Amino acid sequence: MDLQLAGRHALITGGSKGIGRASAMVLAAEGCDVTLVARDAAVLDDAAAAIRARHQVAVRTISADLTNDATIRRVADEAGELDILVNNAGAIPPGDIVAVGDETWRRAWDLKVFGFISFCRTVYPRMAARKAGVIVNVVGAAGEQFPPNYIAGASGNAALMALTRALGRQAPRDGLRVVGINPGPVTTERLVMLQKARAKEQFGDEGRWQELLAPMPFGRAATPEEIGNAVAFLASPASGYTSGSILTINGGA
């Protein structure tokens, strides 16, 4: 299926690995030029090289710490005109209301919650001036499940869901669309690391980590590519009547 994305320009935050890298690869496969943003320049270069090796599109990287507004504005200026913004950067640590300290909570929200907000505030008016553009917020299923042992993530994701729905209601009159995705567990490096630690504690063998995924739907977590496919579809004209909606991808859990 041709998603009619050839020649468009997408910026993906957290684009060096996991869901961000997979989303960039899928968008590139559809003919999008991509700009990847993350902190680690070396990992960014590796992701960019992998995309260039497979697809004939322009690939740029910007190494940046997206925890403050000034940096986000600089990144947006450097990236130039965007057709698609994929907000994806940020991983909020687990813990209950007592376990997550003030500094940890604020630092995690500065990157993910306020990072998403700041990118929307920066990029949305520029897209609205052209009456064209799509913002895809990759949020997280904890925002609708409210696990108490992931309270900083649950509350942060719920805020981003509200942002997506509210901005998505405004977007059509500005010629734009704003949508969200709530992934459940995804087989990223972070998930594998956590499952290996659990397997070592539970079985005495980190190599048995996949056994811990057996109770999940389909006996596994989602792949980053499955989330990336959804990002590309929602960003495309094939999903042109979708705004203010949030797609949950958790296997039906």
Q: What is the pLDDT of residue 191?
A: 86
Q: What is the pLDDT of residue 39?
A: 96
Question: Which residues have a Cβ under 8 Å from the Cβ of 201 and sit 6 or more positions away?
Answer: none
Q: What is the pLDDT of residue 194?
A: 81
Averaged pLDDT of the chain: 96
- Which amino acid would we find at residue 209? W
Quick one: tokens of 205? 């063998």
User: 241 catalytic, yes or no?
Assistant: no
Helix (H, G, I), strand (E, B) or coil at 152: helix
Confidence of residue 190 (pLDDT cuts 50, 70, 90): confident
Average pLDDT over residues 198-219: 92
- Digit-coded pLDDT (tens) for 215-229: 999 999 999 999 999
Q: What is the pLDDT of residue 118?
A: 98
Alpha-carbon Rg for the chain in angstroms: 18
| Residue 84 contacts residue 58 (beta carbons within 8 Å) | no
Average pLDDT over residues 43-50: 98
| Residue 180 contacts residue 161 (beta carbons within 8 Å) | yes
- Digit-coded pLDDT (tens) for 56-94: 999 999 999 999 999 999 999 999 999 999 999 998 999
How far, in Å, CA of 251 to CA of 186, rounded? 11
Q: What is the pLDDT of residue 159?
A: 98
Closest to 36 in 3D by CA, of 130, 125, 27, 180:
27
Closest to 43 in 3D by CA, of 18, 66, 7, 23:
18
Q: At what angle do helices 151-170 and 113-130 cross, to 10 degrees?
A: 10
**Residue 198 pLDDT exceeds 90:** no
Helix (H, G, I), strand (E, B) or coil at 11: strand
Of 128 and 2, which is predicted with more confidence? Answer: 128
- Digit-coded pLDDT (tens) for 134-169: 999 999 999 999 999 999 999 999 999 999 999 999
Q: What percent of the chain has pLDDT over 90?
A: 93
Closest to 119 in 3D by CA, of 154, 148, 79, 61:
79
Q: At what angle do helices 102-111 and 151-170 cross, to 10 degrees?
A: 30
Domains identified in the chain and CATH numbers: 9-186+222-246 (3.40.50.720)
Average pLDDT over residues 120-144: 98
pTM for this entry: 0.95
**Of 105, 119, 124, 150, catalytic:** 150
